[in-house]
Structure 1
Amino acid sequence: MEKLPLEGELTHIEQLNTKEAANTFVHPTPAEERAVIRKLDKRLLPLVFLLYSLSVLDRSNLGQAKLAGMTKDIDLSGNRYQWLGTIFYIAYILFQWTCMGWKQFKPHNWCAAVVLFWGFVATIQASVSSWGGLMACRVFLGIAESAYGPGVPLYLTYFYPRDQVGFRHGVFISGAAMANAYGGALAYGITQAKGSLAPWRILFLIEGLPTCAFALLAWYALPDGITQATFLNEREKEVALHFVARNQRLDVGEPQGLRFKEVLEGLKDPKSFIPGFCYFGCNVSYASLPLFVPTIISGMGSFNKAQSNGLSAPPYVLCFFVIITLCWLSDKFRMRGPFCALAASMGATGFIIQATCSTTAVRYFAIFLSVQIFASVALLLSWTANIHATESKRAGGYTILATIGQCGPLLGTNLFPEAEAPYYRKGMWISAAFCLLVAVLSGVLSCWLIYENRQMEKEGVPEVQEFENTSVAGVSDVHFKHRYIW
């Protein structure tokens, strides 16, 4: 049963509906829309970028901690180290449904709570003295982080036009690349520290404590939606509502609360599954890299452990710029599949080079290419949003995307066993194969969406639908069709 709107919450939407119906709404100019989007960017993007970089840093610093001497204090013999990576992703997968908390609850409350939770868990890793204790921390870290990262792409769709959300997703997801970049450099500095506390414990403290502090900033700074964005004036809120409703539906009534029928539609839509399998392929290839790149570089034989931590940073710096560039181009040309396939092909090339070469310089160069598979993840986030027109349906779509996709690390974190050092050829070939799978599936989904767009064109579905809100579908049970971005 739909919740009744609270007085005052729908003021802007009701006014906009009335003006649209009476043809008195002054449509915003492109310059006016850009000005509003810049305001949204300044408030939202730095914070979600920073929080995600901290999230990735706190989950992936295990590789640096290992090289910083953790094995001297904790027994990681056999496959114990691989299990530390695997158990995190088991918990992460099982709790992917918590991404819907961004829709069910007030986003600023939800975000602050989960950030504080994972910051606390990340910090107390410094106090563990056994493998079992570290395993327990990794489980709770997986639960906490699953409630943040997978839901941010859904949150960003509340504020941006569907054809411009790709760049914003790219900025958000590039926080992972930057975290791996400065994480390697930070670990290099920490490993040089001499003191009574082991360097790996200092690493967990320095990288975990700031997260707790940023939870307060998230609670204070994140708006729950356009109508709650105090940094926008009345006209700017109307402009934002107008462009968000272009070719997708505004969710009216309670700003929070899932429409479970639409969630189910997103879960059942066959088009939700191909991005999920693409995400799976990306994660098989990418999820293991932050954990193993320092070890792979160290195994090249030309660098010591401290240098290997430092040299793991530059490939991720390049990845940061590639993500931003491809997502910007994806928005500009209003297509996702070709750019997703391009990034996956670059990743495959890097893994193939590593699987076939033994020269240190060539293998190190290939790492720069391998990490570009992560750019495909950013594109898949916006592609999923573009497939589903309502917020609740997107919540269902993102749940499918994340649940299938996050199964990839279960395989990926076990691709580079110590027995296959230093070249890890089997793992490199498997990673290359999954990168190529992502490229092929991207092409398949693009062709599918092009076909459906042509069918809708024959049916007379307009290419641009200016304004529509969920109340129409909620009352009439009619869900209007929208053209796809392929």
Structure 2
Amino acid sequence: MNPHDPTGVSARLATHRPQTLTAPAGFETATYAKVTLRLLPFLFICYVAAYLDRVNVGFAKLQMLSDLKFSESVYGLGAGIFFIGYFVFEVPSNILLHRVGARVWISRIMVTWAIVSAASVFVKSPGTFYALRFLLGIAEAGFFPGIVLYLTYWYPSMRRGRMNALFMIGIPVAGVLGGPLSGWIMQAFNGVRGLSNWQWLFLLEAIPSLVLGVITPFVLPNGIRAASWLDDRQKQLLEGNIACDAHAGAEASLKSIVSNGRVWQLAAVYFCCMMGLYGVSFYLPTLIKAAGVKDALDVGFLAAVPYAVAIVSMILVARSSDRRNERRWHLATAAVAAAVGLYASTLHTGNLAFVLITLSLGTAGVLSMMPVFWTYPSSVLSGTAAAAGIAMINSIGNLAGFVSPSIIGWMKDATHSTNAGLIVVALALLAGAVLTLTQSAASASVTAASGASRA
């Protein structure tokens, strides 16, 4: 198998396209159901573990700042510096995944980030906090865009909105599960064996990532040809459907990707989306505590509410987007809803019910943007160009993970409130909606045409 062509599509394009077009609908549906059942649950669990390790610092903050005498600005910078390492190493990481295969590279990513996350128990000073967060970014670089790329090896564009949603609901599920879990660890383990509760949080929540990383090579095939659980007819169907999309994506050099204005515009939209996501992720426990909730376990359970709402919203929006073959208005509407929710949450910060409702709207809007957004890059790029382009968009967009908590932390030190920072985040989301509506309709029409060709 050519490592630069994991699906084997390039060599079999002409052979399998006619077979795909005449495949019975029931056989195609059953084949994709089989693929989804074999791949998505494991990828989903991996993403839950990844996101938990990325944002558990938001719960650790509840005690860590007072233990270590850190200011809000130190926390904001430390939370955000993760994304500098992430930015620097993401494009090379995704290109390597495309070349050496998903199994080995995803395993490497997960094992190294688990080790670095667990090492956070040794944080004693701002310098060590910054260094470990930077190393965590390096370790995790390539995981998310690598999975987005990996899904393009299996699913044509007309199915990717739903598949992206099934994978990306790992974010809100991490919130639903991680909130109560983190709250319980913070409450139950304080002082055990001489470690503070936030140290136990980093240590215990690294274990799932380590275990998953070790078993990844035994679970994930590199592509369709390597899937022993598919018969030849099923492989031909899947490869043929990917081949039908091949005309929509263009191979390109890394230099041409970097100079592509459309890729930069997509990166700008994603940056605005990530401003909202990390504003919520790193400060949701703080916002709930500020509404009058003091017990760490109660904060954990209440923090699960906005994420639970977001799970439903992500699935419904992605399904609607796929069914209508429409991306821009779904994405822009979700961005506006997120902006409205986050801004409204600043109006009555002492009213817990109001804060939960508005933060639920904001969180649902932000997270509903993601699966719809990620149908764009894979519609206009393929092969190594897709690997580099997806990674570039994700790495630039995730710089918002540095900007958003840094701004909120700095403004909280200056104003003694998170409100000003949340308003800045809401404005960024509105800018994302405007940028989305200025996008060319090319990607949406590509997706629609791809769907029509198999109708």
* Shared fold per TM-score greater than 0.5: yes
1:298 is matched with 289
1:113 is matched with 108
| Aligned partner letter, 1:405 | G
Does the 8 A contact of 1:319 with 1:371 survive in 2? yes
Q: Deviation per CA, 1:32-64, whole angstroms, max 9, x where unpaired?
A: 111111111011111111111111110100111
SS at match of 2:376: helix
CA distance in 2, matches of 1:462, 1:279: 24
SS at match of 2:147: helix
1:416 is matched with 408
Does the 8 A contact of 2:7 with 2:223 survive in 1? no
1:122 correspondence with 2:117:
yes
Share of identical aligned residues, percent? Answer: 25
From 357, 376, 385, the equivalent of 2:378 is 385
The 1:269–1:190 alpha-carbon spacing in structure 2 relative to 1, beyond 3 Å, is same
Alignment of 1:107-256 (within 5 A): 107-194=102-189, 195-196=192-193, 197-248=195-246
CA distance in 2, matches of 1:287, 1:217: 29
Does the 8 A contact of 2:19 with 2:236 survive in 1? no
The 1:367–1:403 alpha-carbon spacing in structure 2 relative to 1, beyond 3 Å, is same
Structure possessing the higher radius of gyration over alpha carbons: 1
1:476 is matched with none
Does the 8 A contact of 2:288 with 2:303 survive in 1? yes
1:15 Cα deviation after fit: 6.4
SS at match of 1:413: helix
CA distance in 1, matches of 2:334, 2:19: 45
The 1:249–1:103 alpha-carbon spacing in structure 2 relative to 1, beyond 3 Å, is farther
1:349 is matched with 340
1:102 correspondence with 2:97:
yes
2:434 is matched with 440
| Aligned partner letter, 2:201 | L
CA distance in 1, matches of 2:51, 2:275: 16
The 1:19–1:241 alpha-carbon spacing in structure 2 relative to 1, beyond 3 Å, is closer
Which stretch of the first structure deviates more once superposed, 50-59 or 10-19? 10-19
Does the 8 A contact of 2:20 with 2:240 survive in 1? no
| Aligned partner letter, 1:233 | D
Q: Deviation per CA, 1:90-132, whole angstroms, max 9, x where unpaired?
A: 1111122122222121110111111111111111222333333
| Aligned partner letter, 1:157 | T
Does the 8 A contact of 2:275 with 2:428 survive in 1? yes
Does the 8 A contact of 1:92 with 1:143 survive in 2? yes
Does the 8 A contact of 1:355 with 1:423 survive in 2? no
The 1:113–1:300 alpha-carbon spacing in structure 2 relative to 1, beyond 3 Å, is same
SS at match of 1:426: helix
Does the 8 A contact of 1:12 with 1:227 survive in 2? no
Does the 8 A contact of 1:103 with 1:395 survive in 2? yes
| Aligned partner letter, 1:104 | R
1:90 correspondence with 2:84:
yes
Q: Note the residue ranges of structure 2 that are not aligned, 5 or more in a row.
A: none
Is the helix fraction higher in 1 or 2?
2
Which stretch of the first structure deviates more once superposed, 412-421 or 330-339? 412-421
Q: Note the residue ranges of structure 1 that are not aligned, 5 or more in a row.
A: 252-258, 467-486
The 1:305–1:313 alpha-carbon spacing in structure 2 relative to 1, beyond 3 Å, is same
1:277 correspondence with 2:268:
yes
Q: Deviation per CA, 1:372-413, whole angstroms, max 9, x where unpaired?
A: 21221221112211122x222212321331132112122211
Q: Deviation per CA, 1:349-389, whole angstroms, max 9, x where unpaired?
A: 1022123334512222111011121221221112211122x
The count of aligned residue pairs is 443
The 1:415–1:92 alpha-carbon spacing in structure 2 relative to 1, beyond 3 Å, is same
From 57, 61, 67, the equivalent of 2:56 is 61
Does the 8 A contact of 2:16 with 2:239 survive in 1? no
The 1:19–1:125 alpha-carbon spacing in structure 2 relative to 1, beyond 3 Å, is closer
Does the 8 A contact of 1:277 with 1:405 survive in 2? yes
Does the 8 A contact of 2:244 with 2:450 survive in 1? no
